A and B are shown apart, each in its own frame.
Chain A
Amino acid sequence: MPELKVKGVTIIETFAEAFPMVGTRVIITAPTLEWAMISARTMTGFATSVIACGAEGGIERTLSRKETPDGRPGVAVLLFTMNTDKLQTQLRNRVGQCVLTSPGSACFAGLEGEKSLKLGASLRFFGDGWQMSKVIGGRRYWRIPVMGGEFVCEDKTGLTKKAVGGGNLLVLGKSHEAVLAACTRAVKAMAEIPDVITPFPGGIVRSGSKVGSQYKGQIASTNDAYAPSLKGAVKSDLALNVEAVLEIVIDGLSPEAISEAMHAGIHAIAKGGAREGVTHITAGNYGGNLGPHHFHLKEIVG
């Protein structure tokens, strides 16, 4: 079978193995877009992986004044965990500590889900009895008096159990510089796709992991098969000329959104062609037995 190539970059015939997650969206507004971004970044700052952060989160996109309930600039944030209880806890803690505290902020539901999560319904107690409930157009908002004025927070937001976490692309190349440039381009392209986030720093993870370790209590450890410096010592998946591998992890509200993001990502990576230094695009999986969602690169490229 001939190798699948896009602009000289080899697409390995494999698949990304992804897992079901529960996800939600909230909208954060502020007097300026800058302050909405500060609030959203703070809320999603330590949210790269459920392994140790409790949740995976990121900024989906910015919102114009026309798109927000209060007509101020806003940011849409997505948050994912493995189950509803954890998502509820993470949402309460993150909005409570990072959005409620942020100057001039307000927080609104961003998803009409099959079920709902408490948002203002739990944060209202910060008002110590002085909070006020207001129902406008069938939606309940809480006005919580704070030092900066009033924190307005919608009562509930929706959740979806159809979310998917762990869609991924592994980018192999002849130099770190080339791989980083290609991945940066891909993250930018994926940012245009609705319903997805790339939760790692700048959307890119440089320390892909395998399950388990030789050390007791270490639940994840370095993906030695993709560590270029170990090519001579372990059963490596890398050709000798590969100097660096970077990964883009994608979480989305639906499998379709992940596919769309991976499609945009692959083409953005390959845009520079093999001449740029990117040699292969592949994806991480566990043999297909752990995660129910398999995103085959061959199908996605098409």
Chain B
Amino acid sequence: MSALTFELKHTPDQRLDLSPLVPATLAGLNRKEIEALPIGTTRTKLTVGDAFKVKGKDAERLRFDGTDDRCDNIGAGLDGGAIFVDGDAGASLGAKMKAGRIGVTGGAGVLACASMAGGEITVRRDVGEQACGVAFGQTMGMKGGFVTIGGDTGALLGERMRRGLVVVGGKAGDYAGGRMIAGTLLLRRGAGRYAGYGCRRGSLIFLEKPKDILPTFSDSGVMEFDYLRILEKWLHEQGVRIRLNARARRLMGDMAVLGKGEMLILV
């Protein structure tokens, strides 16, 4: 059975709320019922059928073709199944997601993966501000799961993150890991200013030495971390080719708050 596919007909004249287009909602609906689902966000009524050409049948595997940055809430609250996006995603991609997989060939807007609790999201290009941060109405950021971002991120990556692993291929913006509670950010190309600002626990792993380190992070020197070996091996098993080497400089902070977080800067 082929994936249930939503092909964007033309650039929408309003932002789209695609949160109903998840397997749990679509299961058991026929094409007409799916096409009648409202996805508009203004007073002008807009349904799935107005914006998308719907093809395929398998509601456990969804595919979005040609989407752009106005397509919000793709995979929001996802609780299983797989979503593939050939295009860009708007705001709140996979926000509050619990399980399943999302893959995006383009980039994503603000609040991507915000407050997600489980599952896996891969975004090939850049993501906006507050990725893996705090979703609307939530008190904590990402609470679990695994996120891979191929490009750069906006500011406040992993804000108030509680658990989970985020790998960023590009450069993270300012305040990466800001007010982080726990969890892991692995940053291949460093971050902007104020990384780890106000973080209580959690790990920021830098493959490249960051240019700007907060004075409230204190140096514990270089040593071997078996944890990095476990992480590297697991990432390899997930298809993320990365060489961590076990030796790293450990800085502990943010001493302005609890101070039990860390930066591991690979040497």
The residues of A with any CB-CB pair to B shorter than 8 Å are 29, 69-72, 106, 130, 132-137, 141, 143, 149-150, 152
Between-chain CB contacts (< 8 Å), 14 pairs = A69-B233, A69-B234, A71-B232, A72-B226, A132-B262, A133-B182, A134-B227, A134-B231, A136-B230, A137-B146, A149-B223, A149-B224, A152-B226, A152-B227
Other than the given A69-B233, A132-B262, A152-B230, 18 more pairs (CB < 8 A) read A69-B230, A70-B230, A70-B233, A72-B229, A130-B260, A132-B201, A132-B203, A132-B260, A133-B182, A136-B234, A137-B234, A141-B230, A143-B227, A149-B224, A149-B225, A150-B225, A150-B227, A152-B227
The residues of B with any CB-CB pair to A shorter than 8 Å are 144, 146, 163-165, 182, 184, 201, 203, 223-227, 229-234, 237-238, 260, 262
A106 to B238 alpha-carbon distance, docked (Å)? 22
State how many angstroms separate the Cβ of B36 from the closest Cβ of chain A. 38
The answer to whether B203 and A134 touch across the interface, beta carbons within 8 angstroms, is: yes
**Residues of chain A lying within 8 A (CB to CB) of residue B232:** 71
User: Is chain A's binding surface mostly helix, strand, loop or mixed?
Assistant: strand
A69 to B164 alpha-carbon distance, docked (Å)? 18
State how many angstroms separate the Cβ of A185 from the closest Cβ of chain B. 37
Say yes or no: A71-B234 contact (C-beta < 8 A), given A132-B201, A135-B163: no
The answer to whether A150 and B184 touch across the interface, beta carbons within 8 angstroms, is: no
Say yes or no: A134-B229 contact (C-beta < 8 A), given A149-B223, A149-B224: no
Contact of B226 among A70, A132, A135, A137 (CB under 8 A): A70
The answer to whether A106 and B231 touch across the interface, beta carbons within 8 angstroms, is: no
A134 to B223 alpha-carbon distance, docked (Å)? 18
The answer to whether B231 and A71 touch across the interface, beta carbons within 8 angstroms, is: no
A141 to B226 alpha-carbon distance, docked (Å)? 11
Contact of A106 among B144, B203, B226, B262 (CB under 8 A): B226
**Residues of chain A lying within 8 A (CB to CB) of residue B184:** 134
Contact of A135 among B144, B229, B262 (CB under 8 A): B144
